[in-house]
Amino acid sequence: MFTKDKISITGTRMSSLTGVRAIMKDIIETLSAGGEFFNLSAGNPVVLPEVATMWRDISNDVINSSEYAQIVGRYGSSKGYQPLVDAVVHDFNERYNLSITERNVVITPGSQSLFFFGTNVFSGPFKDGTVRKILLPLLPDYTGYGGVTLNEGCVIGKTPKIRENERGHSFKYELDLDSFCIGSDIGAMIVSRPNNPSGNVLSRDEVLFLQNSAIKAGIPLFVDSAYGDPFPGLSFTECQPIFGENIVHSMTLSKAGLPGERIGIVIAEESIIEAIESFMTNACIHASRFGQALAAAAINSQRLTEVCRNVINPYYKNKFSLITNAIHEYLPPSIPWHLHEGEGGMFAWLWCKDLPTTDWDLYQRLKQFRVITVPGSTFFPGLQSQWKPAQECIRLSLTASEHHTIEAVKLISSALKEIY
C-alpha cells in the first residue's frame, strides 16, 4: 500500500498546500454546508458579458479557420505559438517604443508556472556549494510565491514601511529603502505590480531602485504584472511597465477573461528566456496552443486592448469605489481601521490596527457573521520574524455583487465592534 514515507522531500513539499490554498478546503467546506454567505474570498475574475462575448467570437473565428486542425492537432514550439509571439513583439514595440525580438519572448502556461520555472532556475543549490534564495522585497505579496521553489526555505521577504494618511483611514506600503540590501545568497527578486493582495503599485522610482539593485547583485528582477498594463490593465494609477536589463516582465491573460486557458507572456533578456524555455520544455512542452491562438487574434485585432480599457478596468475601479464608500459608511471611526490606497487589482486590503486577536481568529469570527474573507498573514511568504501588522489584515475580493459587498461590509463592521 502506498504511504507518505514513499514520497521524496521534494514530493512532500510540492504536495503540500501553502498560503491561501491551505484554507481553501475550509472555505469550500463552509460554503458547501449550506446557508447564505457573503463571499469576499474569491480570486476568480468576474465573468463580464462583454469580455465573454469577445472570447466566444474569437473562439468561433479560430475554430472555423483553416489553421484550426494544425493549432490543436500538432505539438508546437516551447517558445510559444509563433503568431502570438509575433503579436506580442509587434504590440509591445509599437506601444512602448521597444526593440524586442522573438528571442525576448516566451509563452508559459499561466504566470504561476513561470514563477515555478523561473524561481527554480535561479534558486536552490549551486555548483559552488551555495544555496540561493528568492527575495520578495515588499511584503505582503502574492501568496503563491511561497510554494514555487522546490527547496524548503528558499523564499524570504522584507516587511514594508507603512505610510498612514493623516486625512483619513487609509495607508500605503512603501519599500524600506533605508534598510534594503541584497545578500550574496539571493538568486532573484519578485514583486507584483499592481500588488496582490494590497493593490499597491510600486512607483517608477521604486522599480528602478530595485532594478539597479538587481543589476549590481547580478540577479534578475521578476515583475509580476498579472493585474498590470496593458493586459488586463487593472491599474488605477500610473503603472506603465518598465523593461530593460535584468527585468523579467510577466503578464497573464487570466484576469482578462481567459483563466481557463493558462496563458502567460514573458519578456526578458534572451539568456533568461532561454533558461525558462528549457525548463518549461522539460516540464510541460508548451502552453495551450488553442489559448495562444485566441490571444494572438485578440491582441492583433486590438479587441483585447479595448475590453481591458473600456470594460475590465472600469468594472473593478467602480467596485473598489463601492467597497471604499461602504467601509467609510459602516465601519465606526472609533476603530483604528485603515484601507490600503486603491491603486489597482481586484482586491481591497483592510488593516485592523491593534487588532485584539489574530487575523485567523477574525476570519473564523467573520464566518459566524456569514462573511468569508482571507486572513492577511497568508500573504507574507518568507516572513523572517514576527511583524504585528501581518496578523491584523484581511483581503476582500471585489468580485462579489454590489449587494453582497455592501451587506458583507455591514457584517464586518458588526464583528469588529464586538472584537474591539
- Confidence (pLDDT) at 108: 97
CATH entry, 67-304, from 3.40.640.10, 3.20.20.70, 1.10.510.10, 3.40.50.740? 3.40.640.10
Cα-Cα end-to-end distance for the chain: 52
C-alpha span between 82 and 339 (Å, rounded): 44
More confident residue, 291 or 21: 291
C-alpha span between 71 and 207 (Å, rounded): 38
Helix (H, G, I), strand (E, B) or coil at 2: coil
Mean pLDDT over 202-226 rounds to: 97
Mean pLDDT over 20-33 rounds to: 78
Please state, as a whole number, how many other Cβ atoms lie within 10 Å of the Cβ of residue 91.
18
358, exposed or middle or buried, with CB in 10 Å at 0-12, 13-18, 19+?
Answer: middle
Nine-digit cell at 304? 483585447
C-alpha span between 104 and 198 (Å, rounded): 30
8-12, 108-112, 180-184, 210-214: least confident range: 8-12
Q: Is the pLDDT of residue 20 over 80?
A: no
Q: Is the pLDDT of residue 199 over 90?
A: yes
- pLDDT cut 70: percent of the chain above it: 98
Q: Is the pLDDT of residue 191 over 70?
A: yes
Helix (H, G, I), strand (E, B) or coil at 312: helix
- Confidence (pLDDT) at 2: 59
C-alpha span between 296 and 175 (Å, rounded): 36
Average pLDDT of the chain is 95
- Confidence (pLDDT) at 30: 83
More confident residue, 33 or 125: 125
pLDDT band at 29 (very low <50, low <70, confident <90, very high): confident
Contacts of 350 (CB under 8 A, 6+ apart): 327, 337, 338, 339, 340, 393, 394, 395, 396, 412
Nine-digit cell at 284? 510541460
List the domain boundaries for the chain. 4-50+306-419, 67-304
Please state, as a whole number, how many other Cβ atoms lie within 10 Å of the Cβ of residue 125.
12
User: Taking phi first (over 0 means left), then psi (-120 to 50 degrees means alpha), and beta for anything else, what does residue 280 get?
Assistant: alpha
- Confidence (pLDDT) at 1: 55
More confident residue, 22 or 36: 36
pLDDT band at 253 (very low <50, low <70, confident <90, very high): very high
**Short-list 355, 16, 157, CA closest to 363:** 355
Quick: pLDDT tens for 299-312. 999 999 999 999 99
- The residue length of the chain stands at 420
Nine-digit cell at 204? 517608477
Mean pLDDT over 210-227 rounds to: 98
- Confidence (pLDDT) at 134: 98
Rounded to the nearest 5°, which phi and psi values hold at 134?
A: -100, 130
Helix (H, G, I), strand (E, B) or coil at 318: helix
Mean pLDDT over 285-303 rounds to: 97
For the domain made up of 4-50+306-419, the CATH class stated in words is alpha beta
- Confidence (pLDDT) at 380: 97
Q: Is the pLDDT of residue 21 over 80?
A: no
pLDDT band at 32 (very low <50, low <70, confident <90, very high): confident
Q: Is the pLDDT of residue 366 over 90?
A: yes
Cβ atoms of residues 121 and 333 within 8 Å: no
Q: Which of 25-29, 143-147, 272-276 has the highest mean pLDDT?
A: 272-276
Q: Is the pLDDT of residue 153 over 80?
A: yes
Q: Is the pLDDT of residue 282 over 90?
A: yes
94, exposed or middle or buried, with CB in 10 Å at 0-12, 13-18, 19+?
Answer: exposed
DSSP 40-81: ----SPP--HHHHHHHHHHHHHHHTSTTHHHHHHS---TT--
- Confidence (pLDDT) at 362: 97
State pTM to two decimals: 0.95
> What are the respective helix, strand and coil percentages of the chain, to the nearest 5?
45, 15, 40
Question: Residue 412 to residues 24, 41, 320, 346, 398: CA-CA distances in angstroms?
Answer: 20, 13, 16, 19, 15
The residue ranges of DSSP E strands in 253-392, in sequence order, are: 264-267, 337-340, 347-352, 371-372, 374-375
Quick: pLDDT tens for 50-92. 999 999 999 999 999 999 999 999 999 999 999 999 999 999 9
Helix (H, G, I), strand (E, B) or coil at 384: coil
Quick: pLDDT tens for 378-417. 999 999 999 999 999 999 999 999 999 999 999 999 999 9
- Confidence (pLDDT) at 163: 96
- pLDDT cut 90: percent of the chain above it: 88
